[in-house]
Amino acid sequence: MENEITVRTGTPEDVIPMMDLSLAACEENGLSRPNPEKLLSEIWSSLNFHHGIVGIIGEQGKPLEAAILLRVESLWYTDDLSLVERAIFVAPDFRQAKGGRAARLCEFAKSAAERLSVPLVIGILSNQRTEAKRRLYERSFGPASGHYWIVGGKTGSWKEGEV
């Protein structure tokens, strides 16, 4: 019998596997070359509950199966707080596995926003598998509140030019 997939709250001990997963996410879907120091700053703060939280699928001390990085911040035009998704990523080896990892991460984000009594801002900024992601998000969150366009770039294409 397959174990139930659960999302646990990340801790500072998860920093190295979280960095590994984040760099893999940037490699696959980043719009530009990642800056590891910036990634570490966002991840470390969130793993320490300083204006953020990380939801993780996977055992501590092992490579992560999936994660979501969430930040508590005000949007550019207000002082009111929101829970803003920075990234949600399922490692390629676990995308076809049973358990619905991406859906579980969506549930984690929605639950965190409800506990904080703030709106959740989450979206899809990708050129890969966007229709499947859209359907998942609509099942998890309801109808979308907008769209993104990227002019002069494509997610994942930064690797091709190696600036």
pLDDT in tens, the chain (163 residues): 356 899 999 999 999 999 999 999 999 888 889 999 999 999 999 999 999 999 999 999 899 999 999 999 999 999 999 999 999 999 999 998 888 999 999 999 999 999 999 999 999 888 778 888 889 999 999 999 988 888 888 888 877 764 4
pTM: 0.91
Which residues, in sequence order, are CB contacts of 96 under 8 Å at separation 6+? none
The class level of CATH for 8-161 reads: alpha beta
Report the C-alpha gap between 54 and 11 in whole angstroms.
Answer: 8
Q: Residue 125 has what pLDDT?
A: 82
Q: Residue 120 has what pLDDT?
A: 97
Amino acid occupying residue 112: A
Report the C-alpha gap between 122 and 25 in whole angstroms.
Answer: 16
Q: Residue 163 has what pLDDT?
A: 44
Decide the pairing of beta strands 66-74 and 52-57. Answer: antiparallel
Q: Residue 1 has what pLDDT?
A: 38
Helices (H) and strands (E) in the chain, counts: 5, 5
Q: Residue 148 has what pLDDT?
A: 82
Any idea where the domains of the chain sit in the sequence? 8-161
